[in-house]
Structure 1
Amino acid sequence: MSPSRRLHTATLLPSGNVMIAGGSNKSISLSSCELYDPLSNRWSTAASISSSRYEHTATLLLSGSVMIAGGSNKSISLSSCELYDHLSNRWSTAASISSPRYEHTATLLPSGNVMIAGGSNKSISLSSCELYDPLSDKWSTAGNMSSLRRLHTAALLSSGKVLVTGAYDELSSLSSCELYDPLSNKWNTAASMSLPRYEHTTTLLSSGKVLVTGGRNALGLLSSCELYDPLSKT
C-alpha cells in the first residue's frame, strides 16, 4: 500500500476488490483510500474520505455501499459518517451519529440497519448505542449497554442477536458480555468469559458458536481462547 498505515479499515466489496480506508501514519491521520484487486494482485487509488480518521468502523450495507462511522483525528473524536459507492468511486455525506466515538463496533443487522455500540469519546468510555437506517439516512437510539465498553467485539449470532464481549472501561478490562435483541431493542446479560480481555477477536463459526481469541488484560497479552455457545449460554 501507499502510504503505510495502521488502525484503518478493510472492506470486501461486491466487486471482489478490497477497500482500505483511512488510518494513521505515525502521528498523521489519513483520508486516503486504496483498492486491492486480487485478480491482478495490484493496488489502485480510490477516492479519499472527506475527513481523515482512524479507529473508525466500515460496514458493507445491503445496497453495496460502504458506511464509514466515527473515528479519531488526533485528539478529536468524530461523529461524522460517510458513504462510499464502489460503482462511481465517490464518497457522500451520511447523517452523523449523535455521540462522537472511536474504538466502537459496528454490526450489520438482518434488517439492513447498522448498530454502533460503545467506544470512546476522548478518554471517556461509552455505553450508548445507536441504530442507522440506510433507507431514511437517520440514526436512532439502541439503548445503553450495562457496562462502559471500548476495544470490545461484536458478533452477529445466527439468531439475529448481537453478542458483545469484553472491553476496557475506565478502570479495567472486562469479562462480562451482553446480548442485543433487535426485535425488542433491548440489551440483556450473557454469560461472562473466564478471563477479562480487550483488543481480542470474535468469529462466528458454522456451528453457531462464537470463538474468542487472544487480546490483553492487566496481566499482559493473552494466548487463551474461549467458545461461546448461544444454546447453553456458556
Structure 2
Amino acid sequence: MIYRRALHTSSLLTNGKVLVSGGVNSTDYYNNSTELYDPLTEAWTVSGRMNCVRAMHTASVLMNGKVLVAGGDDSRNTLNTAELYEPTTGIWTMTRTMNFRRFGHMVSILPNGKVLVIAGSNGTRFLNSAELYDPSTETWTTTGKIGVARFDFTASVLTNGKVLIAGGVTDENVGQGTELYDPSTGNWTAAGNMNTQRFGHTASILTNGQVLVAGGFSDKFINIAELYDPSTGIWTITGSMHNARSFHTASVLNDGKVLVAGGYNSSGFSNSSELYDPLTRTWLITDGLHHSRFQHTATVLKNGKILITGGSINNDFLNSTEIY
C-alpha cells in the first residue's frame, strides 16, 4: 500500500476494486487517507481523503455501490460522524451523523438495504444502543437496544435475515452470550450461549448457513472453534485450530472452506494460517503469511483470491499486502 495502516477498513467495491480507508499509522497519528487496489493491475492508487480522520470505524458497501463509513476514533474524540464514498468520482461527502458516538462497534447490512450499527464504546463506557441508516433518506433512526452492552464482539447476518451477535467484552466479564436481532420487529432476543467466553474472535457464515466462531481471548488465547445452527439455536464445539489466536482474520473461500490468518497469541504476533473444512470439521495448516501481523484486514476478491492488507507488529505499522 502507499500508506502504513492498522485498524483500518477494506471494502470490495462493485467494480472489483478494494477501497482501504483510514486507520492509524503510529501510536499518535490517525489518518483520513484512502487508497484503491486494482486486482487487474495489482497496483495501488491514492483516492479521495475522508472528511474526518478515523480508526476503529466501520465501512459498508451499500446496494447503490457507495461506501458508508461510520464512527470510530480520531485519537482525541469518539466520533458520531458518517460519510459516503462515491466510487465513480472518488469523492467523500458527509451524511447525517449517528445518534451515538461509538468506536469498536459492529455493522451489518440488512436484506432491505439498511445498515445496522451495533454497540461499541463511546470512550467512557460500553454501549447497548443500536441504530439504522437508511440510504434512501440518508437518515439514522434508533432501533432496539441489545440486552448486554459489549465491545469487540462479532455480528453476522444469517440466511433468515436476522443478525447474530456473539461474545465480546462486557461490563462484567468476557462474554459468551449471544443475541438475535429481528429486522421485522426491531427487537433483540437472547440466544444460546457459546461454549467459550471470547473476544477478538471471528465469525464466518458457512455455505450451509451455520456460523463458525474461531479463536479469540478470555483468560488465555483460544484455539477452540464452535458452530451455531440457526435452525436449532444451539452451539456445538467443532475441531480446534492448530494455533490459538486473536485479532486474526477469517475469510470464506469459494470452495466453502474458511481461511484464518495472522493474529496474536502467547508466542507473540503470528504469521500462521489454516483452513477449516466444513465437511470434515477439521483444520489444516496452510501456507503462512510472509509477515506476521494483527489488526489487519482480509478481503475476498471477485477472482476468489484473498487480499491481506496492513496491520501492526511490535508498534510497527505495515503497508505490506499479500495475496492468498
TM class, shorter-length? over 0.9
SS of 2:59's partner is: strand
Shift of 1:4: 1.0
Query: Separation in 1 of the partners of 2:172 and 2:90?
Result: 40
Alignment of 1:78-117 (within 5 A): 78-117=127-166
Residues 203 and 8 from structure 1, CA distance in 2 versus in 1: closer, same or farther, beyond 3 angstroms?
Answer: same
Shift of 1:122: 4.1
Report the counterpart of residue 72 of structure 1 in structure 2.
121
Task: Compare CA radii of gyration and give the structure with the larger one.
Answer: 2
Alignment of 1:123-162 (within 5 A): 124-162=173-211
Alignment of 1:166-205 (within 5 A): 166-169=215-218, 171-205=219-253
> Does the Cα contact within 8 Å between 2:104 and 2:151 map onto a contact in 1?
yes
Query: Separation in 2 of the partners of 1:26 and 1:130?
Result: 31
Unaligned runs of 5+ in 1: none
Report the counterpart of residue 213 of structure 1 in structure 2.
261
Shift of 1:230: 0.4
Query: Separation in 1 of the partners of 2:228 and 2:235?
Result: 5
> Does the Cα contact within 8 Å between 1:75 and 1:122 map onto a contact in 2?
no
Percent identity of equivalent pairs: 40
Query: Separation in 2 of the partners of 1:123 and 1:3?
Result: 33
**Amino acid of the structure 2 residue aligned with 1:7:** M
Deviation digits for residues 6-45 of structure 1 (CA, Å, limit 9, x no counterpart): 1100100001001000001114110001111111111110
Shift of 1:123: 6.8
Query: Separation in 2 of the partners of 1:128 and 1:38?
Result: 38
Shift of 1:124: 2.1
Deviation digits for residues 47-84 of structure 1 (CA, Å, limit 9, x no counterpart): 11010000000100000000001000113000000000
Report the counterpart of residue 21 of structure 1 in structure 2.
70
Query: Separation in 2 of the partners of 1:14 and 1:123?
Result: 38
User: Which residue of the other structure, out of 83, 108, 117, is the alignment partner of 1:34?
Assistant: 83
Residues 94 and 46 from structure 1, CA distance in 2 versus in 1: closer, same or farther, beyond 3 angstroms?
Answer: same
Shift of 1:85: 0.1
Greater mean deviation of Cα atoms: 25-34 or 200-209? 25-34
> Does the Cα contact within 8 Å between 1:18 and 1:36 map onto a contact in 2?
yes
State the TM-score, normalizing by the size of structure 2.
0.71
State the TM-score, normalizing by the size of structure 1.
0.98
SS of 2:227's partner is: strand
Identify the structure with bigger relative contact order (alpha carbons < 8 Å, sequence gap 6+). 2
Report the counterpart of residue 288 of structure 2 in structure 1.
none
Query: Separation in 1 of the partners of 2:142 and 2:184?
Result: 14
Query: Separation in 2 of the partners of 1:228 and 1:27?
Result: 40
> Does the Cα contact within 8 Å between 1:27 and 1:74 map onto a contact in 2?
no
Q: CA RMSD in A?
A: 0.9
Runs of 4+ residues over 4 Å off in structure 1: none
Residue 285 of structure 2 corresponds to residue 230 of structure 1: no
Query: Separation in 2 of the partners of 1:30 and 1:232?
Result: 44
Larger proportion of strand: 1
Unaligned runs of 5+ in 2: 1-49, 283-324
Shift of 1:2: 2.3
> Does the Cα contact within 8 Å between 2:57 and 2:103 map onto a contact in 1?
yes
SS of 1:124's partner is: coil
Query: Separation in 1 of the partners of 2:176 and 2:110?
Result: 24
SS of 1:203's partner is: strand
Query: Separation in 2 of the partners of 1:123 and 1:229?
Result: 35
SS of 1:29's partner is: coil
Would you say how many aligned residue pairs link Structure 1 and Structure 2?
233
Deviation digits for residues 88-114 of structure 1 (CA, Å, limit 9, x no counterpart): 000001000000001010000000000
